[in-house]
Structures are given as structure tokens and as C-alpha cells.
A and B are shown apart, each in its own frame.
Chain A
Amino acid sequence: MERPAAEPGAQPRANGCSGAAHGALRNGYVRGLPAPDTQIHHIVHNGGLYKKPFNEAFEETPMLVAVLTYVGYGVLTLFGYLRDFLRQWKIEKCQNATEREEQKDFVPLYQDFENFYTRNLYMRIRDSWNRPICSVPGAKVDMMERVSHDYNWTFMYTGRVIKDIINMGSYNYLGFAQNTGACQEAAAKVLSQYGAGVCSTRQEMGNLDKHEELEKLIARFLGVESAMAYGMGFATNSMNIPALVGKGCLILSDELNHASLVLGARLSGATIRIFKHNNMQSLEKLLKDAIVHGQPRTRRPWKKILILVEGIYSMEGSIVRLPEVIALKKKYKSYLYLDEAHSIGALGPSGRGVVEYFGLNPEDVDVMMGTFTKSFGAAGGYIGGKKELIDYLRTYSHSAVYAASLSPPVVEQIITSMKCIMGEDGSTFGKECVQQLAENTRYFRRRLKEMGFIIYGNEDSPVVPLMLYMPAKIGAFGREMLKRNIGVVVVGFPATPIIESRARFCLSAAHTKEILDTSLC
């Protein structure tokens, strides 16, 4: 994926906003002047670690928009208190479920304040989430229509199905979520042969020959010595980090790491320190301080230091600065745990993830973790690395000992799709998908920037967050897009900081140019 050589000439474009359009207010997005505020990172000064320009842009929130957002939330909070007051005095009907009569004198299960946000703000726009679909989650989906007569407290399904909604919400990066084709046929065969479930843990009778085949294939795909597969991506993180580090070790994790990484780090019992998102100076400072000062009170040296980063951060769309992280890791003798949940299959000229995107050696990363849910259209997670690491995990990982292994048709889907991406099934379908995804990404981002929206994240990441900021816009955007038959994902607090709510587009190789054009207009 080489950039065209016209890069220096196109400098104003790479600055995050094209200079051609004026500061016209479009849909209320105040587009300020980009130059002073945006943080553009051109890595020429970093000593040639990066082979390609690394363009990330996180425009600062314009001041007016921030103020208006706070005002909006303030109004909503006031109304929330008012409604609570009315509900308490029974002037308004209380519509959420209540405690049993016999258990009324028990300690209340939920504090009133915990659910304040849920009751008052979330309920208003609840129809943007949990939308049920009834077809394969490809480029277009069919959605079940639902209406609510009491302002989203309950939903009723009308029984009608809205067909052919453009799907910009599912994590279907390479378009493998299909119900026809080679993958599906292979999975069907395995299903009739092996059954759907496994009914046993990995260490007991759950290790089918299919699992062995899968693990060898993963190791070949990633370029590591060996690999191990687990039944659930979330569980992979939360059960293997405790097996690797324990008390007396240090974990340095990025600010915006996923809940599974945070849970795994907490369960391990190690000390956790957080560095600012993708900020290498902050990481280096923490590393230096940690080694020099040792453990907090006893001053003994740390047993191990583990750095937890993700390949692509799903809420920001940013890519980790892997060359710098690896340089730091080597200098300070720590270990690197890379979570490629979103980036495997989506980045890199042949889809092998962020390590290939930067042109680095996969053996530099100590633990490469990823999931099969996003690009491979299946479920589950994997960990790849050196043979000693994987052997150790086979014996000590909580998941291998206590949790069920992958289901056989899912395994078959992963095997077929991985072979397809690697090109081993004889066609170039995999390569075409990867290239199509890259083209779609570039095209979509460029068009959105031209239209004047504020987009976060790296130029090459297929996750495109579009900033919305105002709470009212979250609901309105979701509903308006649905009216035009486009399904998007809107995210607000608490997954993002309170003033930075956004709509997130997930591009896919299955999207053709026409689909993208329709959604842009």
C-alpha cells in the first residue's frame, strides 16, 4: 500500500482538513482552522523507524461545541432529576421493573444514583443500540422493525423486516461473513460430522484434531513459532494475562485499552500503570521510573514488565506506534503484549496485521493476541508466540483447564478463511479483499474529510469515528441514518469521554464504491 509520490504537494490535505472548503457551518459542525490545534505526526524526525508516513489526526474539540455539549448534558441532567422526583412522588408512572414484594426490606440491589444515567439519558436514545437483525451481517442486512409506544421503555416487534440496510456497524472487515461460498460449505460438512458443541475443556477431551490443525495454521499465518486458540476473545485476554504476570510484576497499559485487557490486568494482581494514549514519551518515562525506582514501597526490582497495547483502537481508530514501542521494549528489556483484535486481517499488504503494516519482525512481539470475530467471520481468540510461551500457556492458562474449547464448525470457518487470505486455496480472493478494504478506507476517509466532518484516527485504519459531540445528535444521527437505510453505530458516554461522543463507521471489503457513495450522500 504505497502512498502516491505527490505527498509533499498535498500537504494541506494531509493536515486534516482540505483548505478548499471554507469555514461554512455544515450541520452545526464548526470547522475551525486546522493548523494550530491538530496534532499531525510526521515521523521524519524519528530517525527513520517508520517506512511510511504515519498520519494520525485528533482534532481538538472546538470550544463552542464543547460548551454547547456541556449545556446539553446539563439540561438533560436537570430533567433527569425532575423526572426522578416525579416518579418518587408517584406523579409519573414508574416503568422500570421493581423488587419483589417479599424482598422489599432487603438491602437494595442497585444504588439509585448508579442507574441515573441509565434511566434518564440512555433510555431516550435506547433504540440506537441492540438493533436485532435477521440476516447474515454482510454489506447489507435486514433488520427487524421495532416500535416503542412508551418512549423506549419497551419495544414491540411489528413483524416487518426492513430489508437491505447498508451495514456500517458490523466488524466485517474482509467480508467473510457470508452464508454461501467455500467457507460455509466446509463449515457445514464439519458440522454434520462433529456436531455443534464440544462438551469438554481443552485439557480433557476437548482437543480435537481440528484444533491442532488450526493452531499450526495460525502459527504459519502470523509467522511465529506456535499458537493456541481459545473459545472467546474476551476470555483469551482475561484468562491469559493472569497466567503470564502476577504479583511483583508491572503492567504498563495504554489509556484506552479494551475492557478485556483491563480485566485481565486486574485479575493478575500485578501493579498497573497507565500511559497516555499512543504517547511514547509517557511510556518511556514510566519505563525509566519503574526500572530505576523498583516496586513502590519495598524498592525491590520488578520481576517483569509487560506492555499492553492494541493494534487498532476501536473507539479512536488510531494505530499503535509499533516501531517505537518495539524500540523501547528492546532498550528497557520488557515484554510486549499486542492485542490485534481489530487489526488482524485488516492491515498489512497481505492481511497479517499491524506487524506487517509496519514491516517489522513478528518475533519482536512477545505475545501476539488476536480474535477471529472481526476479520475472519467466526468467533474465538488466539495467542501466538515462541514455543516455550505457548507450551506454558497450554499447561497453565485458566482457559485451557476450565473452559470449553472452540466449536468445530467455527474452527472450520477460521481455517477456510485463513487459507483464503493466505492464498493457499488457490485463488486471489483473499488478496483482493485486503486491497479492496484498503482502497475503501482511503476513499471513505478522504470523502468524509472533504465534506468537513471531524474524523479521528489514522489514515489507514478501517475504523472511522466521526465526532458528534452533542447528546441530542447521537440519537438523531442514528435515527436519520436508519431512515435512509444506513445502519451506523453511535457511541456515547461511558465508552467515550463525555463530550466526545461519536458515530463509528466500520468499513468492509464487501462494501462496493456505490454503497460507499450512497452512504456519503
Chain B
Amino acid sequence: MAAAVGVGQQWVLVEMVQAFYEAPAYHLILEGILILWIIRLLFSKTYKLQERSDLTPKEKEELIEEWQPEPLVPPVSKDHPALNYNIVSGPPTHKITVNDKECINFASFNFLGLLDNEKVKNAAQASLKKYGVGTCGPRGFYGTFDVHLELEERLAKFMRTEEAIIYSYGFATIASAIPAYSKRGDIVFVDEAACFAIQKGLQASRSNIKLFKHNDMVDLERLLKEQESEDQKNPRKARVTRRFIVVEGLYMNTGDVCPLPELIKLKYKYKVRIFLEESLSFGVLGEHGRGITEHFGINIDDIDLISANMENSLASIGGFCCGRSFVIDHQRLSGQGYCFSASLPPLLAAAAIEALNIMEDNPDIFQTLQGKCKRIHRALQGISGLKLVGESFSPALHLQLEESCGSRENDVKLLKRVVDY
């Protein structure tokens, strides 16, 4: 075979030499000049436009020796308040033992009191006996259990949407959902008081963020109008930039609700999609606990995506998103916290299913919760020096100082004394 290749090569060479002889003269001369020019260019010394001094290796070594990085972490003072955690022994239910002192628990988000419920615990025990604790894999690779599928179906049915998707951590839910839809170049209108998870989701999505004043629909409309006038200048771009409004049902930072009916009107007028984050309002607002859409009586299909975490009312761990299949199915491949992370431990999923059962069977617990919230709200109104922030039916309230003492540190110290008492 090698010989045949050799003969073939020779044959081609003969042809080449023949062509060389038969070519016209000017052709050869032109080619010769070109070759000489190329050789000259290759070997000529290049000159630079500016004098650039390249560092010698010795100088580089010196620079490397000299460089001193900052310490990996800056030192933290010993009495930083967040450093000494309160140690809670025993279950964090209504009565809680903090630092060996028994107190009534006003600090956990255990809104429906399901943390200590026997039925929930029994369901989790049964699941523990069947599946063990961990799932050892993400959803795509043998991490999908039948309890996950059942929980997704139940949540979708409860919220009366088409489909639901479960995440294994509440924070990761909204922080993975937003970047799955909103990419670089898209526009998101966000309330100023949005919670930290939403902020991280927005940062990860690299979209243009426009903040509007908290619960101020006039401000939002102004921003939307500005966007509309910009769109008219550049209609081609406007046709492909997606627009979203991200709001929370019950704001964690201020304790009030968002005006959803006006938002829906704005949605259809300016053609933006709404993402609703219902971590605090799921299981709290509404007749059956379906959240703020039930509270205001709005058709749930009007909201594109509802995201909530199960760590508050459902007394489990994790989060879910629900909405139409068109929207939710996309997250199964592009939600980072869904695809690249292990799935929810089955015992927590079983606990959530049981909690859902309890919620469906006893719709009057929501009324009880709201009644209690109103009572506490009234009772805390009259304290001098402290202002109560939050709606009357919101289970999460903020007590703020009426007047600031001057510096933030003193404010924090004063509040801490109130807390420690």
C-alpha cells in the first residue's frame, strides 16, 4: 500500500512539473515576485508603534514576591451579635427553649402550627421506613420518587393550576425560577422591598432591573410608560425583549400585601408577565389558604408563575412553583436548582403531603390564624416608642422604633434589649 501511495504521489508531481513548463511567462514572473515579497515580509523586523517595555522574568519574580493579598476573610469582632447564635434545644414549636430559657415562640414561621403535628410526623416516619433519608441523586438521574410526583400533583390540584414543580430548598426556588425565563436583555420590574432570594435570582439572570417604590402602582405605571415609549423607538428589539413584574404576595420586609387587581390591569395594558412569590401568603391568606389570588378573588391563570416555599406554613423544607404547563415545564430543563441539585428527601415530601391533607380537611384553621393575627395586632398597637408595621391579618409583623436614636448601632442595641427581655 505504501508503494501505491508513492507512485500516486510521483504521478501528481509529474503533472505539476508539466504545468509549470506550459504556463505563460508573465504568470511565472508574477508568482515569483509574490513569493519574494512574502519572504521579505516574513523576515523583516517588525516595528512597534509605541515603545512597550516587556517585563523581564526577574522583574516578574520580584512582583510576585512583593504582592500581598488581603486575608481571606476580614476579622470579625468577638461580640458581633450574629456570631453567638441562640441555641434552641427541643423542637421549635409554640413553646421554645432558647439558651435554656423557656419562651413563647414568636420567631419561627410556623404559621399553621403543623411543625409538631402528630399526623405529619407519622407520615414522615412511614416514608422514612420505606425510603431512608436521602435521595442520592438529582431529579434527572434516579432521584425522582413517587412521593415527589404525588406532591407535585397535589400541589397543582390544591392551587388549581396545571402543573407544579418542586425544589429541594426554599431559597433556591425563586432564585432558580427567575433566571430560567429572564435572560440578559430582558426587563424586570421589581418592588423595592423584594426579599433577598428574589434579589439573588435577579442578579443571576443578568437582566435589566427597574425598581419601583414599594406598593406604589403610580410609580410602576410611570416606569411602564417610559418603557413603552422606548419600545416605540426600537420596535424590532421590543418584539424580543420579555418583560416581567416580580412581586410578593405578603412582603417579608414590610408585612403588607401587594395590590394584585391593579397589577393584573397593568399586565394586560402593557403586556408584561407577572411572577408572584407567595412564601408568606401561601397557607395564610384566602379562604382555603390558596394565597393572595384567593384573597383577592383573581383567576389564577392570570398569574404566569407562582412560587412559594414550603418552609413556612407547610412546616417542611423546600419550595415549589406552580402555573400552567407551558411555563412550568421549561424549568425542568433550565432551572438550575432543579437540574443540578439533589431532590428533596422523601420524608420531607411526605410531611408536606400530609400537611396539605390537613389544610384541605380543616379550612377553618385559616380563619383561626387570621383572628389571632388581628388580636395581636390590636394588642401591640398602643406601645409607646414602637411602631407596628404590617397588615392586620399578616402573621409576620415588624416592630420599628418610632424615632431613631441617631446611629444604627444604637438602634440595633436597643432593639436587642427589647428582644432579650
Contact = CB atoms under 8 A, between A and B. Distances in A.
Nearest to B351: A196
A86 interface: no
Given A187-B128, A203-B82, A235-B171, A244 B109 contact: no
B330 A110 contact: yes
Nearest to B93: A195
Nearest to A131: B142
A259 B64 contact: no
Nearest to B326: A97
B115 to A, nearest CB: 4
A259 B315 contact: no
A260 B340 contact: yes
14 contacts: A107-B240, A141-B142, A196-B115, A196-B351, A199-B312, A233-B341, A244-B72, A291-B63, A302-B69, A304-B69, A377-B133, A402-B171, A403-B170, A404-B170
Interface stretch (B117-125, B289-297, B384-392): B117-125
Contacts of B311: 197-199, 404
B240 A292 contact: no
B144 A130 contact: yes
Interface in A92-113: 96-100, 102-103, 105-111
Contacts of A183: 132-133
Contacts of A137: 131-132, 134-137, 142-143
Contact of B76 (A97, A200, A392, A408): A392
A378 B271 CA distance: 44
Given A107-B243, A203-B85, A378-B133, A196 B67 contact: no
B263 interface: no
A311 B142 CA distance: 23
Interface in A37-74: none
Contacts of A217: none
B136 A170 contact: yes
A461 interface: no
A517 B83 CA distance: 53
B172 A332 contact: no
B141 interface: yes
A179 B132 contact: yes
B75 interface: yes
B324 A196 contact: no
Contacts of B96: 205
A15 interface: no
B204 A206 contact: no
Closest 5 CB pairs of A and B: A232-B169, A403-B171, A392-B73, A97-B326, A234-B341
Interface in A170-205: 170-172, 176-179, 183-184, 187-188, 191-200, 202-205
A197 B132 contact: no
B90 interface: yes
B74 A392 contact: yes
Interface string B55-88: 1000010011001111111111000101101111
B92 A333 contact: no
Contacts of A410: 133-134, 345
A207 interface: yes
Contacts of A187: 128, 133
Nearest to A372: B134
Interface stretch (A346-354, A356-364, A393-401, A425-433): A393-401
Interface in B155-203: 168-172, 175, 181, 195-197, 200, 203
A303 interface: yes
B337 to A, nearest CB: 6
Contacts of B200: 238-239, 267, 398
Interface string A317-352: 000000000000000111100000000000000000
Nearest to B64: A291
A177 B145 contact: no
Given A204-B107, A288-B64, 11 more contacts: A106-B272, A106-B273, A107-B242, A137-B132, A179-B129, A195-B93, A198-B311, A232-B337, A260-B341, A392-B75, A402-B196
Contact of A266 (B140, B204, B317): B204
A169 B88 contact: no
B340 A200 contact: no
Interface in A412-467: 413
A134 interface: yes
B141 A489 contact: yes
B239 A107 contact: yes
B137 A407 contact: no
Most chain B C-beta atoms within 10 Å of own C-beta, residue among A134, A259, A374: A134
A188 B196 contact: no
A150 to B, nearest CB: 15
B409 to A, nearest CB: 15
A395 B77 CA distance: 10
Most chain A C-beta atoms within 10 Å of own C-beta, residue among B55, B115, B196, B345: B345
A179 B130 contact: yes
A303 to B, nearest CB: 5
Interface of A: 96-100, 102-103, 105-111, 118, 122, 129-138, 141, 144, 167, 169-172, 176-179, 183-184, 187-188, 191-200, 202-209, 212, 231-235, 238-239, 244, 258-260, 263, 266-267, 288, 291-292, 301-305, 332-335, 366-367, 371-374, 376-379, 388-389, 391-395, 398-404, 407-410, 413, 487, 489
B149 interface: yes
Given A191-B121, A191-B347, A200 B326 contact: no
Given A132-B146, A333-B67, A398-B200, A172 B171 contact: no
A169 B142 contact: yes
Contact of B315 (A195, A266, A291): A195
Given A97-B324, A404-B171, A200 B109 contact: yes
B348 A207 contact: no
A399 B171 contact: yes
Given A199-B109, A392-B74, A394-B85, A291 B145 contact: no
A409 B91 CA distance: 12
A170 B141 contact: yes
Contacts of A266: 204
Given A135-B130, A288-B60, A333-B69, A196 B142 contact: no
Contacts of A194: 90-91
B25 to A, nearest CB: 44
A197 B348 contact: yes
B98 interface: yes
A379 B271 contact: no
Nearest to B116: A195
B336 A259 contact: yes
Given A144-B146, A205-B108, A409-B128, A195 B136 contact: no
A122 B131 CA distance: 30
B333 interface: yes
Contact of B88 (A138, A209, A401, A489): A209
Contact of A133 (B144, B239, B329): B144
Contacts of A102: 268
Nearest to A331: B64
B316 interface: yes
A26 B82 CA distance: 62
A330 B125 CA distance: 49
A185 to B, nearest CB: 10
B357 interface: no
Most chain B C-beta atoms within 10 Å of own C-beta, residue among A97, A135, A196: A196
A249 to B, nearest CB: 8
A144 B144 CA distance: 10
B140 A130 contact: yes
Contacts of B168: 232, 379
A122 B333 contact: yes
B105 interface: yes
A205 B97 CA distance: 10
Contacts of A378: 133-134, 345
Contacts of B93: 195
A239 B337 CA distance: 13
B241 interface: yes
B281 interface: no
B143 A170 contact: yes
